[in-house]
Amino acid sequence: MARFEQVEAYITCPYCGENISVLVDTSIEAQDYIEDCEVCCRPLALSAVLVGDAVEVTARRSDD
């Protein structure tokens, strides 16, 4: 299995409240990054943490 892999995670956009999916690079144990919401296009501050085989992603407004 390739070491570099991306998994899909689901978050709720803190701006528009829509459930959207984001791709997370699981070769990194913990990461914070900015990604635009695919619905409202506003910048989300995402925190992704690997927990065993799963990934937990939380989304905040990037201007908080």
Q: Are 44 and 13 in contact (CB under 8 A)?
A: yes
Contact flag: residue 45 with Zn ion (CB under 5 A): no
The nearest distance, CB 59 to Zn ion, in angstroms, is: 9
Binding residue (CB under 5 A) for Zn ion from 23, 28, 39, 54: 39
- The number of beta carbons lying within 10 Å of the beta carbon of residue 11 is 20
Interface residue with Zn ion among 36, 40, 47, 61 (CB under 5 A) is 40
What sign does the dihedral 7-19-48-36 (CA atoms) show? positive
Residues that bind Zn ion (CB under 5 A): 13, 15-16, 37, 39-40
